[in-house]
Amino acid sequence: MARPKPLSELIERSLGPVFAAQGFASTDILASWSEIVGERLARACQPEKLEWPRRRGASREQRPEPGTLTVRVEGAFALELQHLVPLVIERINRHYGWACVGKIRLRQDRVAQARRRAAAPPPLDPVRRGEVALAVSTVSEAALRDALDRLGLAVLGAQRPR
């Protein structure tokens, strides 16, 4: 029987060529971006492309010269990030353990945001809650009664004014 594979291996195999075309050696920088730069910066910017300088007579064993990372940044945050560029370069290089990024180029654009968790709805009026409980109280099977109770509460919650 084949052993289960971590999702990271499957993602790397399927998305690796796409990221390689953008200059990224792996998907790691995108997956670790918020860990590298912090949550606050990660909400306002994303790495987009890593460009490496051409090698001139260097052997394969030597590390390449530092590259230029293009970062997409929200327009309102661009000026602040411009002042933080040296710190971001330091954090990226510390994360990888070598000077892989020497320069950051900013590109103002919208940054895709992860969906924020919706706020919890306000509590249901006790009178309405009682109406649902009374309506399902005649159902004898407990599992069905609980399911109908949850359905009734969901319907009443959806009807509340926002």
pLDDT tens per residue across span 137-157: 999 999 999 999 989 888 887
| pLDDT value for 119 | 59
Give the single-character DSSP code of 148.
H
Instruction: Kindly report the average pLDDT of the chain as a whole number.
Output: 80
Mean pLDDT for the stretch of residues 15-26: 52
pTM of model > 0.95: no
Contact 85, 69 (CB under 8 A): no
Contact 92, 70 (CB under 8 A): no
H or E element at residue 158: helix 142-159
Say yes or no to pLDDT of 86 above 70: yes
Which tokens go with 160?
Answer: 């509340």
